[in-house]
Structure 1
Amino acid sequence: MEVLHIYHTNDLHSHFEHWPRIHQLVTQRRKWHEQEGDEFLLLDIGDHMDRWHPLADATRGKGIVELLNAASYDAVTFGNNEGITQSYEDLDNMYESRQFPVLAANLYREDGTRPEWLQPYKIFTTKAGTKIGTIGLTVNFNHIYDLLGWKVTDPIEELEACLKELKGKADIIVLLSHLGIHDDERIGTMFPEVDVVLGGHTHHILHEGKQVENTLLAAAGKYGQFTGHVIVEVDEKTKKVLTKKASLYDMNEMKPVENEKEIIESLYAKGKGLLEVPVVDLPHPLTAKHFEESPLADLLCKTLKEWCNADCAFLNAGLLLNGLDKGRVTQYDLLAICPHPINPCTVRLTGAELKEVLLQTKDEKWPHLQIKGLGFRGTVMGNFVYEGIDFRKTSEHTSEILINSEAINPKSIYTVAIPDMFTFGRFFPEIFRSQTKKYFVPEFLRDILREKLTELYPNS
């Protein structure tokens, strides 16, 4: 019997507080298993980088690749944070120093060719001659990839094509899936030839895996809180899989690594140092408050409207985690106060639809609502801030909405600038249903704020 140990990580999102322990665990385990004569693979399932962290932001992911190299990863796929939170050129250059294959069967250049740093699958051969077909798939955010200059295709169709190519060439099929739990379950049902799906994207935790038909699903949550371990036992002669089991190691319960705090802080400090690039010298502070008057949020909202050439704009004050002090402002300062990978966006709404949305923004539930996901890297929503939008009280119980000082016309069409997170379903149904959304990439909100500040204070 041959024993294969697969260790896997996913969705670290540059939360390196557990990285020293993960690094130590996987490097030690590789040594142990190989000394026992067993096979070992170390795989990452994407979203290892997240540009809220200065090292990821300053190096455009290259610093993350160095960490993966140092831990001797055998293969990785990438997630939406690597793929759509940076420019075409940044993704195209990110893996140039890699010491491992990058697997994603459903990403292409616009002309249909694959970038030279990418391949759909990799066959690993064990000492006993067992062939492990390892396929990668990334989530199909085709609209954003199109805007950036890439082409992503249907992951299920690409998986089917890879399985056809691997038929007769691989004894075991392992899928690196940055697609989410629902697609992983679907794959288990559709493709019994897939032995193991290592999952990510939806941050699900499968402590002992999940069996779907013949396929074992495994996933390790988010932020490096867990490291996954799948053990596959194979008949050496027939190459048939005999058993499969999955488990997770809780990194909080692992013994601290020597100089752990210093290692974590050094990663942050390295990125911060790279971002200490002056942007402007402010002649006065620009304060930002979540629940009070917020001059910096007002400026960002005005900038959003101008950048998108919109009729009006609104955003939530919680997008700014802090204000800017008088004096030198650096790229790091802008990252620190606005760490979200959120892009400007416009949506076209009728006056009636826009009125409904704006009335919803006045709901008292919003300011203290805690937001997680959708690119938001802050804590609470905060008050809504408006540009080109006024609420005028007409009587004790009634008011009207003005767009650029004119009463909103229910039948007119308005172009509204918003943070792109509002286009997702949990916020405003009218925006979610609209078919006229336009995303501005690759700029983040902090990028357009930086340009506005340099415009306002050109001689600083």
Structure 2
Amino acid sequence: MKSRILRILPIIIILSLIVNVISGLSIESDNSLKNIIILHINDTHGHLTPYDDDDKSKDIGGMTRVATLIKEMKKENPDSTLILHAGDELSRGDAPTVCFGGEVNMQVIDSIGFDAFTPGNGDFYFSVSNLLKQITFMKVPVLLSNVVYKNNEERLFPSYIIKEVNGVKIAILGLGVIREDHPSGRILKLKDPIQSAKEILPEIMGKSDIIIALSHIGLGADILLAEKCPEFDIIVGGHSHNQLNEPMFVPRKDGKGNIIIVQAGEYTKYLGQLDIGLKKSDSGKYEIIKADGKLIPIDNKIKEDNIALEIISKYDDKLSQVLCELDNDIPYKRNGNNPIGIFTANAVRLNTGSDIALIDLGSVERGIRKGKVTLKEACMIHPWHNQILIYELTGKQIQEVLSEKDSYIAGCTYVKSDGIADNIKINGLALDKSKTYIVAFDEFLSTYMKSLQGLQFEETGKTINNIII
């Protein structure tokens, strides 16, 4: 009996050691370093395909290349990669962006697999209704906590999401900016991003390990956000187009680490990469113990993604549709009389049946050459989707408008002396200051004219792009 006990004892000891080792491994695993890769981009402004930059850089950028790079990096680390877009994908950009209002862009973003998108001010420029329409083309969460409707203070989009990445619960809170003086901001109200964050952060903190601000408020505002809201761990920024080649660290006032700020330039020139390492703290939450980041150039060494190219190519037939044939060029001139600007104003006047039409000087950006004119070329004349508004103005009010601001104009001639418009003629006839005229305005132009503030107008529902086409 004694010998049997002696034989069993070593086995019990060995089993006990195995259990202790396994338990030790379990504890070590629980406290082991968690690595997460955050890929980020901002202020892409409709650069779907590669382009030549104004600074002589050739064949750079393109969301088609960004797509390839992100997918390759995600494939290498499928469970520990977070992909974020900090806004301004729409507004201006290339022909597919302008012609289709972002429909193509949102499909490309969706195909890449972004985890969250915060719209920037530029994403509203084609109108609020357009943005709401275009995001239906993607499943990516759209986050924005500090922009609401004026009439009821309801948010357009959710404020935040919580996503688990490599076992770490990450809260992503969207913060942005709009131009309330822009036509697109007429029905919206911008709330202070810091105050909005302060209101929402207590709700988030108990649900997450770390908190990311996906921000389109600019670098200066991001730094202030970090100082005023130390609950954030990371701020992925946009709006100011800053090329931060390495992360910026803003120390917390209590000495407990830093808030990390990153931003990846503009126009798909770079993809940002932030690598963070996390361990569990005494509170049981993961906290960042190390961070390193860089910008990856998007150049011609990166192939374009086939799926993104396929999405874009579906619109090629529409873009190549011939609208008309011109006998002569209608050039764009930056200074003096701009033929394409006058052409645009005339098109608006004829389409609306107004006496005169006025178009903002900065809104017309490209001329067209003689020969066949395609949809692609016509769309790029005016890349803003500005709506046309109709005002009924007296001759006296027209003089005030013409004196206040220069514009491309059709149906009217005048001379200006010491800031006062004089010798005004409407369709060849002298201006009658007591008569009422029908005047078509570019919505953007009218928003900034003091002489029009408070006056009634009619929304035509027509954009300059629609009229040109």
Further displaced range: 164-173 or 302-311: 302-311
The partner residue of 1:250 within 297, 309, 318 is 297
For residues 65-93 of structure 1, what are the alpha-carbon distances to aligned partners after superposition, in whole Å with 9 as ceiling and x for unaligned? 222222221111222333331451x3333
Where does residue 64 of structure 2 map in the other structure?
20
- The offset of 1:173, in angstroms, is 1.1
What TM-score results when the alignment is normalised by the length of structure 1?
0.71
Where does residue 370 of structure 1 map in the other structure?
none
Is it true that 1:4 corresponds to 2:36 in the alignment?
yes
Query: SS of the counterpart of 2:77?
Result: helix
Whether the 8 Å contact between 1:82 and 1:91 is mirrored in structure 2 is: yes
Question: Structure 1 residues 421, 230: CA separation in 2 closer, same or farther (over 3 Å shift)?
Answer: farther
Question: Structure 1 residues 357, 114: CA separation in 2 closer, same or farther (over 3 Å shift)?
Answer: closer
- Percent identical among aligned pairs is 20
Question: Structure 1 residues 288, 174: CA separation in 2 closer, same or farther (over 3 Å shift)?
Answer: same
Whether the 8 Å contact between 2:247 and 2:262 is mirrored in structure 1 is: yes
What TM-score results when the alignment is normalised by the length of structure 2?
0.70
For residues 26-50 of structure 1, what are the alpha-carbon distances to aligned partners after superposition, in whole Å with 9 as ceiling and x for unaligned? 222223234xxx7220111112234
Query: SS of the counterpart of 1:182?
Result: helix
- The offset of 1:161, in angstroms, is 2.1
- The offset of 1:386, in angstroms, is 5.9
Query: SS of the counterpart of 2:261?
Result: strand
Return the alpha-carbon distance in structure 2 between the equivalents of residues 343 and 399 of structure 1.
26
Return the alpha-carbon distance in structure 2 between the equivalents of residues 309 and 184 of structure 1.
46
Residue correspondence of structure 1 range 160-239 to structure 2 within 5 A: 160-214=198-252, 215-238=259-282, 239=286
Return the alpha-carbon distance in structure 1 between the equivalents of residues 102 and 442 of structure 2.
27
- The offset of 1:142, in angstroms, is 3.8
Return the alpha-carbon distance in structure 1 between the equivalents of residues 353 and 223 of structure 2.
40
Return the alpha-carbon distance in structure 1 between the equivalents of residues 224 and 353 of structure 2.
39
The partner residue of 1:76 within 91, 94, 117 is 117
Return the alpha-carbon distance in structure 2 between the equivalents of residues 310 and 138 of structure 1.
40
For residues 230-270 of structure 1, what are the alpha-carbon distances to aligned partners after superposition, in whole Å with 9 as ceiling and x for unaligned? 22222234423223333211223x7231xx49988766543
Further displaced range: 179-188 or 441-450: 441-450
Where does residue 300 of structure 1 map in the other structure?
344
Where does residue 41 of structure 1 map in the other structure?
82
The partner residue of 2:468 within 446, 449, 452 is 449
Where does residue 424 of structure 2 map in the other structure?
402
Residue correspondence of structure 1 range 288-327 to structure 2 within 5 A: 288-290=331-333, 296-304=340-348, 313=358, 315-316=360-361, 319=364, 321-323=366-368, 325=370
Return the alpha-carbon distance in structure 1 between the equivalents of residues 287 and 416 of structure 2.
73
Query: SS of the counterpart of 1:156?
Result: helix
- The offset of 1:335, in angstroms, is 0.4
For residues 108-138 of structure 1, what are the alpha-carbon distances to aligned partners after superposition, in whole Å with 9 as ceiling and x for unaligned? 56555556xx42101122444x321101123
Return the alpha-carbon distance in structure 2 between the equivalents of residues 61 and 392 of structure 1.
40
Question: Structure 1 residues 2, 308: CA separation in 2 closer, same or farther (over 3 Å shift)?
Answer: farther
Consecutive unaligned residues in structure 2, runs of 5 or more:
1-32, 51-60, 253-258
For residues 337-389 of structure 1, what are the alpha-carbon distances to aligned partners after superposition, in whole Å with 9 as ceiling and x for unaligned? 3334445579998957853645xx8xxxxxxxxxxxxxxxxxxxxxx656523
Where does residue 160 of structure 2 map in the other structure?
121
The partner residue of 1:135 within 157, 164, 173 is 173
Return the alpha-carbon distance in structure 2 between the equivalents of residues 308 and 108 of structure 1.
36
Whether the 8 Å contact between 2:272 and 2:293 is mirrored in structure 1 is: yes
Query: SS of the counterpart of 1:82?
Result: helix
Whether the 8 Å contact between 1:138 and 1:179 is mirrored in structure 2 is: yes
- The offset of 1:295, in angstroms, is 5.6
Query: In terms of Rg, which structure is larger?
Result: 2
Question: Structure 1 residues 345, 221: CA separation in 2 closer, same or farther (over 3 Å shift)?
Answer: farther
The amino acid that maps onto 1:337 is I
Return the alpha-carbon distance in structure 2 between the equivalents of residues 85 and 156 of structure 1.
27
Where does residue 287 of structure 1 map in the other structure?
330
Return the alpha-carbon distance in structure 1 between the equivalents of residues 262 and 194 of structure 2.
18
How large is the RMSD of aligned CA atoms in angstroms? 4.3
Query: SS of the counterpart of 2:38?
Result: strand
Return the alpha-carbon distance in structure 1 between the equivalents of residues 263 and 205 of structure 2.
26
Question: Structure 1 residues 442, 162: CA separation in 2 closer, same or farther (over 3 Å shift)?
Answer: farther
Residue correspondence of structure 1 range 96-111 to structure 2 within 5 A: 96-108=136-148, 111=152
Query: SS of the counterpart of 1:165?
Result: helix
For residues 178-237 of structure 1, what are the alpha-carbon distances to aligned partners after superposition, in whole Å with 9 as ceiling and x for unaligned? 222232222122111111111112212111132334422211111100111122222234
Further displaced range: 12-21 or 349-358: 349-358
